[in-house]
Chain A
Amino acid sequence: MMNNGPIIQTTNLSRSFGDILAVDRISVSINPGEVFGLLGPNGAGKTTTVRMLAALLEPTSGEAYVAGFQIGKEDQKIRRQIGYLPEAPGLYDALTAEQNLAFFGAMYGVEEISRQIKRYLEMLGLWNRRYEPVATFSKGMRQKLAIARALLHEPEVLFLDEPTSGLDPQAARLVRKFIAELSGEGRTIILCTHNLDEADRLCDRVAVVNGHLLALDSPKILRRKIFGRKVVFHLLEAKIDFEQVLLAFDFVSEVHLVENKILVSVEDPENNNPALIRALIEAGAEIQFVGELRRRLEDVYLELMKSAEGINNG
């Protein structure tokens, strides 16, 4: 049992279903209070990984600790420490919102269940609908109720599997805001999502998986690792000479002219840009804007998948 350090630690965590290897030797450490994204295509083993960490499935090999307890050996203790929002909300339609939460509160042995129900239904804007059967709820309301269910027992670790999937933009925004608030409370959140923009905005670090771990870092560092850093100079008129001016610097690795823009790959834009701007002005350039070309996490993801496919195809 671990007392300090990461709240989740996996070492070569693997899971097979018959001959199919769903999760292949995943090793990660997740710190307390971190929002950790688990990204990957369908069938990449995200849900299986989460199910193992939620003590629902046993690993075929490897080991993992959640909140200091070893999965497969201290599952009951783990279940008390975690909250879980599965891909499908899985609510009892015939029961009211309050009855659903009261039932799960009893399963978790929550004391002062009425207070907890009120707290989370109010936070998620469902308090006035508490006596209505869930069957009458919209998809967004169901998702919010399922999130409330996952929080009733005040878990340290929260697993959210596609929390905004299928929600309208307004509901998705509300859920994202709520996740950010939960993170602010110091909870550790493991977020499985296909929404890469969402992961980019919410996650401190992301793991890209496709059965095995392809990459693990913060979205910002992953972008830099894969694409480097590029500065864009918007000029009144771009000339071919400018390319040579910029390539004269050691810290410039690449220069591309695109219409009236120059894309420059540099190591450290914060320190390198002033010299580049000076050189361009001296060369007669009229600079309109300067900015960093921001790659989306989606670009990083697709690049990683492309590389993984390339490796798999030999």
Chain B
Amino acid sequence: MDRIKAIIVKEWREVFKNKFIFFTVSFLPLMITALPLGILYFATGSENFGGVTTADLPPQFSTLCGELSGGDCMLYYIVTQFLLLFMMVPVIIPMTIASYSIVGEKTTRTLEPLLVTPVSTLEILIGKGLAGIIPAVSATWIGYLLYAAGAHIMVDNPAVVGKLFDPLWMTAIFVVGPLLSIFGVSIAVMISSRVNDPRIAEQISGIFVLPIVGLFIGQTMGLILVNQQFILWMAGILVVLDSVLFYFAVQIFQRETILSRWK
């Protein structure tokens, strides 16, 4: 446990001195929190939502509104739209941190002295992983709490604000978020083992954020509905994916593999 803690502290000391990483970790969640709050502010300030009515909402969405009135349902729709946007934070941050951390160790040749110590592969991987996951999940949760607090101030109907604490959001933020972080770290580990530039590792890893962007666009266009069932499916798939990816990440992180195959 002491070794894992030491790895996490070391990673943070190193990566947060990098302005780009610091910017990504601090500004991305801020932007993703500020954007929906801004839209919510304008939506609540508008009498008739700029002429948009509940009839314009995807038909399947009304099933999520329950007893909410038409206007409140519209507000809830706006609030829920940004759920997937929040899901990008726990993927992007650990990908950035892990890419810079692992590629950085490769280019400065610091891995060999580390691997010669009695630290285990699993401890290194967990330490490096948590160094990315902890800020990512914390940023997601803080962003979510700020969003919920902002919505509470701006939206009059407690029923709408209450929806931000329903099982859909809870599962998404507190279960899917951490699972996405593990996914991001595992992907970054695998890609970082094959490249020598952290920016390339980050760009390639970025491809794996596209499905979430796709879901966001699909939801906005009314093609999919992000409901409780959808989020549970997402969590289930991520559990399987994370297990497989973490297994491969452990294999890639064996001493033998690092010293003889990493380029």
Contact = CB atoms under 8 A, between A and B. Distances in A.
Given A57-B260, A103-B6, A107-B6, A92 B14 contact: yes
Given A90-B108, A90-B110, A109-B118, A95 B256 contact: no
A56 interface: yes
Nearest to B116: A84
B44 to A, nearest CB: 45
B3 interface: yes
Interface string B1-41: 01101100110011001000000000000000000000000
B256 A107 contact: no
Contacts of A108: 117-118
Interface residues of B, number: 26
A221 interface: no
B131 to A, nearest CB: 13
B110 A79 contact: no
A79 B10 contact: no
A104 B109 CA distance: 15
B6 A90 contact: no
The 5 A-B pairs with the shortest beta carbon distances in the complex, nearest first, are A106-B6, A107-B117, A88-B109, A79-B118, A84-B116
B122 interface: no
Interface in B248-263: 255-256, 259-260
20 contacts: A51-B259, A55-B116, A57-B260, A79-B116, A84-B112, A86-B109, A88-B109, A89-B113, A90-B108, A91-B113, A92-B108, A93-B108, A94-B14, A95-B10, A103-B6, A104-B114, A107-B3, A107-B6, A107-B119, A146-B113
A245 B9 CA distance: 78
Nearest to B18: A94
B111 interface: yes
A149 B110 CA distance: 12
Q: Is the contact region of chain B dominated by helix, strand, or loop, or is it mixed?
A: helix
Contact of A90 (B13, B109, B259): B109
Interface in B83-120: 108-120
Contacts of B255: 55-57
A82 B116 contact: yes
Of B5, B111, B113, B115, the most chain A CB neighbours within 10 A belong to B113
Contacts of B5: 106
A104 B10 CA distance: 10
Interface of A: 17, 51, 54-58, 76, 79-80, 82, 84, 86, 88-95, 99, 102-104, 106-109, 146, 149
Instruction: Pick the most buried of A82, A94, A95: most chain B CB atoms within 10 A of its CB.
Output: A94
A54 B109 CA distance: 17
A88 B140 CA distance: 39
A56 B259 contact: yes
B108 A106 contact: no
A136 to B, nearest CB: 13
A57 B113 contact: no
A103 B110 contact: no
A99 B109 contact: no
Given A94-B17, A99-B13, A106-B3, A79 B117 contact: yes
A57 B5 CA distance: 27
A107 B5 CA distance: 10
A58 B114 CA distance: 17
Nearest to A84: B116
Given A76-B118, A95-B13, A109-B2, A90 B256 contact: no
